Copies of this chain bind each other. A is one copy, B any other.
Amino acid sequence: MTRDERLSRAVWDVLARQGLERLTIRAVAAAAGCTTGLVMHRFPNRRALLRHARDLLHERTRERVERLEAGAATPREALRAVLSQGLALDAETTAESVVWTGFLAAAVADEDLVSLHRANNRAWRERITRLVSAAGLEQGETVALALISLVEGAAALASADPDAYPAPVQQAMLDAVLAAFELR
């Protein structure tokens, strides 16, 4: 791993495992095994750490989503796979949900972070709206936003309380809503 990769990984791990409250330049330095000066050379302040975490989240999910979409046999299968990866079904996606919640909480009253969120969320909405329409529903946009909200909320609740929202339950919820909308 290069030094940049080690720093990047450290930002992610601190936010995902220790949470927003403990995300500091010092904690990142400890996780990366380097000096705070070295962290600050790459990330001059806390907002830079948060922007980086959000960019990582966007890259990770975009790559995964494109692979899933390309590999799906039908539009409905693509929709289900793309939405499912947004749930907190395993350690990796649970960590992503924690990073996302931390970013969202930090973005309050921070126009710079909020703008980043809006741009990324717009791309996500366009993708899901397109998949919902391809899966044969007319009122695509409302349904797309409902599905996005469902996945978002389920991941947040599951990451805070895994026992109450285990993976099969999250998947059953999503399937129940897809079936109710008769998405094929």
Interface residues of A (CB under 8 A from B): 17-22, 46, 98, 101-102, 104-110, 114, 117-118, 121-122, 125, 139, 142-143, 145-146, 148-154, 156-157, 160-161, 164-165, 169, 172-174, 176-177, 180-181
On whether the beta carbons of A19 and B106 are closer than 8 Å, the reply is: yes
Q: Dominant SS at the A interface?
A: helix
12 extra interchain contacts, Cβ-Cβ under 8 A, other than A20-B105, A142-B169, A180-B181?
Answer: A18-B108, A22-B109, A117-B161, A121-B164, A122-B164, A142-B172, A143-B176, A145-B154, A148-B157, A149-B150, A152-B154, A152-B157
Q: So how many copies of this chain end up in the complex?
A: 2
On whether the beta carbons of A142 and B173 are closer than 8 Å, the reply is: yes
Contacts of A174 in B (CB 8 A): 146
Contacts of A117 in B (CB 8 A): 160-161
A113 to B116, CA, bound (A): 29
